[in-house]
Amino acid sequence: MTAPNEVQAPVRSERSHRHPLSSWREHHGWSAAASLRRLAVKPVGSLLTIAVMGLALALPLAFYLLLSNVQSLGDALGRNQVISVFLKSDQVAGNAQLLAKQVEQHDGVASVAVKTPQQGLDELSKMQGFSDSLHALDDNPLPYVLEVQPQDGISADAASHLVDDLRSMQGVDVVQDSGTWRQRLDALLGVGNRAVLILATLFALAVLLVVGNTVRVDITSRADEIGVLKLIGASRAFVRRPYLYAGIWYGLFSGLLAVGLALAIEFALAEPVGRLSQAYGGKLQVGGLPPWLLLAVPFAAACLGWLGARLVSAWQLRQAV
């Protein structure tokens, strides 16, 4: 559609006596190629449009990458810290073992370890400032302690119920838990998930608007051409098709750019994240964006581009009637 000879050939093919499906396929192929050539004719404007859309799509990916690794950071900082259950001083070894078996059968518990009073005393003796004081004791005042390890990924509510059940058990004196930290982290993850969803929705709307405005300007600048096509019998679908493919190209290229930017962010963060992981003894496992998401972004962006072009071109062509 960049020159009269390009416009006339498909129209004649539509009016030809060949099978309609063959003409339909031919025009789709021509529309895809012509719209791509149209983008190449004005490279600066096309690149700027694709760059704006690509940056808009890359921002939700960057936030998603950050959010997906907050969970790993929380685990490394102790999101699943052991729950310490201090038994009453009158509990003996047999009672501690029996209680440990009961706790191990509880939902949400991964494992239970029994720490004897002697083990607790040995740990205290290794701490600076405690060794001299412990030697002055006539007997060991420490109780048996159950170290309860929650299951990975346990929610804050489930952990809170677990702590309440542990406190209500017979023979339990004190339960030490970092439930507040878990609740704060889960709340932070919930806010982050909602923020990523809102950002993705807003930037998807931005892509629709950018493509729609680009197609609107293109249709307006070629109003005379479109009028000639309608005079020689071209349907609205025939006239609209190249603009739909233009929207697909804009979306596809911007999606590929967004994926490239997201991978560049991962690469830039690889070295400092590796040092952070080493600082936590390798417990911090930081991952990248999942492959399915990287493949889905260009496809979704192409669909958004098509939708934006479809809505605006339909409205513009109705106005031109």
pLDDT of residue 180: 66
The structural domains of the chain, ordered by start, are: 4-76+185-319 (no CATH), 82-177 (3.30.70.3040)
Q: Which amino acid, residue 84?
A: S
Two tokens, residue 285: 């496992």
Length of the chain in residues, anyone? Answer: 321
pLDDT tens for each residue of the chain, 321 residues long: 444 344 444 444 444 445 567 777 887 888 888 888 988 888 898 999 999 999 999 998 888 888 777 766 665 555 556 788 888 888 888 888 888 888 888 888 888 888 887 777 777 666 655 555 555 556 666 788 888 888 876 776 787 888 888 888 888 888 887 666 667 777 777 888 888 889 889 998 988 899 988 888 888 887 777 777 777 777 777 888 888 999 999 999 999 999 999 999 888 887 877 777 777 666 566 677 889 999 999 999 999 999 999 988 888 777 755
| Cα distance from N-terminal residue to C-terminal residue, the chain | 20
C-beta separation of 82 from 179 below 8 A: no
pLDDT of residue 5: 40
Minimal CA–CA distance to 318: which of 244, 247, 219?
219
pLDDT of residue 161: 84
C-beta separation of 283 from 75 below 8 A: yes
With vertex at residue 273, the alpha carbon angle to CA 284 and CA 297, rounded to the nearest 5 degrees, is: 95
| Cβ count near 31 (within 10 Å) | 20
DSSP string for 215-227: HHHHHHHTHHHHH
Strands (E), the chain: 83-87, 109-115, 145-150, 172-176
pLDDT of residue 4: 38
Q: At what angle do helices 291-319 and 43-77 cross, to 10 degrees?
A: 140
The β-bridge relationship of strands 83-87 and 172-176 is antiparallel
pLDDT of residue 3: 40
Minimal CA–CA distance to 281: which of 78, 50, 55?
78
pLDDT of residue 55: 92
Radius of gyration over alpha carbons of the chain, in Å?
A: 33
Q: Which residue has the tokens 């072009």?
A: 309
User: What is the enclosing helix (H) or strand (E) of 261?
Assistant: helix 236-279
- Quick one: how far is CA 134 from the chain centroid? 52
Distance, CA of 112 to CA of 101 (rounded, Å):
8
Q: Which residue has the tokens 């249709």?
A: 219
